[in-house]
Structure 1
Amino acid sequence: MIPIRDTIRSRSFPFVNWTIIILNSLVFFYQFNLNSSQLDAFVQTFALVPSQITSNPMSWYPFLTHMWLHGSLMHIIGNMWVLLIFGDNVEDRLGSVRYLVFYLLGGIAAGLLEYFFSAGSDVPALGASGAIAAVMGAYLIFYPRAKVVTFVPIFFFGWFVRISSFVFIGLWFLLQLFSGVTSLGAAASTQVSGVAWWAHVGGFLFGLLMAKPFCLGKCQRQEYADEHYPW
């Protein structure tokens, strides 16, 4: 299933969400222009390499920096597209400053859980997907009745369908959790598939649990504006 858009219109311009997208893109552009040895050194320094943190607990900064790196063009496009769909509404509900703090802490929580399940791994974990998973968790709390316009490919055909955010995000989380559990037999959760499943789980659980506390009773309520599109 490929998400196309949601049906909730943001009431304010998502300044922080767009800033995050632009910064991720700039970092990826910088990575793209490095030669192989420079790129390897960059990734080893700023990605989350669990074994390095285990051997040097003072190296805490990768928990913050890993969420700004991406491994491929499709990796960053996929992540930024999902952030574009869900992030604007969460920023609208939390406010820009709290949204930024929430996003960063969600990424850190994702990195911590990934590290917990792969402390001895030499495989770098990188990408914004853990922080974006936190945004998706918050979206599920704030907009459980929203709809996600989704493209469902079947063989050579495909259909656009509207799926409730509860179903779409819920199925996504169950897939991450199942994949994380099945990866436990490997030395690291990224070892088999190249995907940091537990980072997704950690970020999502952070978003699910911390969305309401971040509101502190001051978040404005938002109507469910299900706009009518021809498709």
Structure 2
Amino acid sequence: MTFLPLYDGVPMRNMRTPYVTYGIIAFSTIAYLAIWLDFLPMPEESISASFGLIPAVLFGSVVLPDGLPVLPTGSTLVTSLFIHAGLLHLAGNMLFLWVFGDNVEDALGHLRFLVFFLLCGLASSLAYAFSVPDSERPLIGASGAVAGVVAAYLILHPRVRVWGLFFFRIPLHLRAFWAIGFWLMIQVAEIWLNIDDSVGWLAHIGGFAAGALLVIVLRRKNQPLLGAGDGPQLTGDV
């Protein structure tokens, strides 16, 4: 991961506690621990196949073995968001959500933020599925939905300066426009160069596009866009 957000310092304006953000982080963590501690009566590969999104299964060209599907196939468009491949996968997604999710939830409200998150996840899942309709590799993780949250934050607070860790070792204090822009450039480059096909990069782009559009529609009526409500202390040099 080339960029990890650490802190933004943007105060909450409309609520004290982002319950939905915290709830998603808690639920995702509990789901990971349940799998890691073998609380579910099936091997990890079966869990990924049952709860992850498999495009070929979604579109009906492949059928899972008898007894393997736990939920209806269409539900994996959502359940896949809460299953993660490992601790770093989980920690990276939850860190992005921790830093950016509270301010997006503050701008939308609790219920609309939950709807927003699920719709971004749905858009990311569909973007991945339609890009590789014959793939039998499960898509898991909240990365696409989190990308939607990142996009919403960019639309809301592009001038805010964010502390981030670049390439795991370089701390920088950049405006969100530059930090998130760099992150987005990496996503596009990965798709273009096809360096690592084990990651659903198009899911990230699908979630990002959905988030950028949905935040405009779902935000509170008095919520400004493009940093119009951010104080002068949040501006300055790059």
Pick closer, same or farther for the CA change 1:38–1:224 going to 2, 3 Å: farther
The CA distance in 1 between the partners of 2:158 and 2:93, in whole Å, is 21
Pick closer, same or farther for the CA change 1:129–1:152 going to 2, 3 Å: closer
Give the match for residue 181 of structure 1. Answer: 192
1:203 counterpart (201, 204, 207): 207
The CA distance in 2 between the partners of 1:159 and 1:33, in whole Å, is 34
SS in 2 for 1:194: coil
- Using the aligned pairs only, state the percent identity: 31
Verify: 1:86 aligned to 2:70, yes or no.
Answer: no
Give the match for residue 161 of structure 2. Answer: 147
1:36 to partner: Cα distance: 9.9
Give the match for residue 5 of structure 1. Answer: 7
Given that residues 4 and 96 in structure 2 are in contact (C-alpha distance below 8 angstroms), is that contact kept between their aligned partners in structure 1? no
1:1-28 deviations in Å (ceiling 9; x for gaps): 3321113122421111000000000100
Give the TM-score of the pair, scaled to structure 1: 0.86
Verify: 1:169 aligned to 2:180, yes or no.
Answer: yes
1:132 to partner: Cα distance: 0.3
1:61-87 deviations in Å (ceiling 9; x for gaps): 110110000000111011101100000
- What are the within-5 Å matches in structure 2 for residues 1-231 of structure 1? 1-11=3-13, 12-34=16-38, 38-55=43-60, 59-152=73-166, 158-183=169-194, 192-215=196-219, 217-219=221-223, 222-224=229-231, 226=233
Given that residues 7 and 225 in structure 1 are in contact (C-alpha distance below 8 angstroms), is that contact kept between their aligned partners in structure 2? no
For structure 2, which runs of at least 5 residues remain unmatched after alignment? 63-71
Over aligned residue pairs, what C-alpha RMSD do you find?
A: 2.4
Worse-matched range after superposition: 160-169 or 26-35: 26-35
Given that residues 7 and 149 in structure 1 are in contact (C-alpha distance below 8 angstroms), is that contact kept between their aligned partners in structure 2? no
For structure 1, which runs of at least 5 residues remain unmatched after alignment? 184-188
Which ranges of 4 or more aligned residues in structure 1 deviate by more than 6 Å? none
The CA distance in 1 between the partners of 2:143 and 2:102, in whole Å, is 16
Given that residues 8 and 226 in structure 1 are in contact (C-alpha distance below 8 angstroms), is that contact kept between their aligned partners in structure 2? no
SS in 2 for 1:162: strand
Pick closer, same or farther for the CA change 1:28–1:101 going to 2, 3 Å: same
Give the TM-score of the pair, scaled to structure 2: 0.83
The CA distance in 2 between the partners of 1:149 and 1:21, in whole Å, is 21
The CA distance in 2 between the partners of 1:225 and 1:126, in whole Å, is 40
SS in 1 for 2:7: strand
Count how many residue pairs are aligned between Structure 1 and Structure 2.
Answer: 217
Pick closer, same or farther for the CA change 1:153–1:79 going to 2, 3 Å: closer
